[in-house]
Amino acid sequence: MNTMTLQPFCVAVLGVAAMAGVTACSKQGERAAETPQATTQAVAPPAGTPHWEYGAEGPAVWASLSPAFAACASGRSQSPIDIVTTAANSQPALRMSYRPASLRVVHHEHMADGINNGHTIQINYGGADTLTVGDERYALVQYHFHAPSEHTVGGRHYPMEMHLVHKSAAGDLAVVGVLIEEGQRNAAFEPVWANLPTEKGMEMHYQHVQVDVDDLLPRDRSAYRYAGSLTTPPCSEGVKWLVLATPIQLSTEQIGAFTAIVRDNNRPVQPLNGRSIALDRVR
């Protein structure tokens, strides 16, 4: 990528489809200081949605489950990938910034189709945060987690990975991947981590919770950039991927709290097929 100028901005996670969720509401500009008041609600997946999973009907057979999933096998620019080498910076500059806003947390199958069946824990974002790549602006729609990581670096998996999904006004998608390693307790995650939805199909509604997305990210925002796809069915291509080069840390207990609910929800790395990986260095 070209040089990345990181300025305060809002992030939006890809909202390919409706997402049921837990809501966290707070006054603008306040940090999480109050104990969340959480309520739960079971949510059924939409009727007629093709079923997929990470087990028997996992990544190896996704393409056979529905014609809509054909790209999972036939696509030539699929994600995730193993990050090994980088090309010279030659892409538009990236500007990132996040600010506090309300969010919705969802125990949810798949960010693209809104099915709540335990494929991940997803946080729906209702703020005005944006990600700008070149002249194109993307809004943060949601973020969610995989354990272990989907992207690898030199063949190495991390215990977890966070995906912040963004969508432009034209419907294009950009996803920021954040690798998570085991280390110190991360207080920025506690407002949500203290009340993770523990059952498939569960919605949780939080009150008086303020989350600053900027606090969830490493200080160094240098990122590997490449052209890829959704990592879950329908595996649609045309997604701009930005995988931050610096991981963040969660404690053993925090990682365990997530994997006690969802684990092994990672798609294997896909062939690069001649794609280049550019590195934007930004602090």
Structure tokens at 74: 């036939």
pTM, 2 dp? 0.79
- Please report the pLDDT score of residue 196 as a whole number: 81
Rounded to an integer, what distance in angstroms lies between the CA atom of residue 259 and that of residue 272?
A: 29
- Give yes or no for residue 113 having a pLDDT over 50: no
- Give yes or no for residue 2 having a pLDDT over 90: no
Rounded to an integer, what distance in angstroms lies between the CA atom of residue 133 and that of residue 131?
A: 7
Q: Who wins on pLDDT, 38 or 15?
A: 38
The contacts of residue 123 (CB under 8 Å, 6+ apart) are 13, 21, 103, 104, 105, 106, 142, 143, 144, 192, 211
- Give yes or no for residue 206 having a pLDDT over 70: no
- Please report the pLDDT score of residue 91 as a whole number: 63
Closest CA to 206 of 107, 138, 120: 107
276 burial type by CB count under 10 A (0-12 exposed, 13-18 middle, 19+ buried):
middle
Closest CA to 20 of 41, 34, 3: 41
The contacts of residue 256 (CB under 8 Å, 6+ apart) are none
| pLDDT one-digit tens code per residue, 115-162 | 334 689 888 776 667 888 888 888 888 889 999 999 999 999 999 999
**What's the one-letter identity of residue 32?**
A
Closest CA to 158 of 143, 177, 179, 175: 179
Q: Which fold has domain 22-45+67-280?
A: Carbonic Anhydrase II (3.10.200)
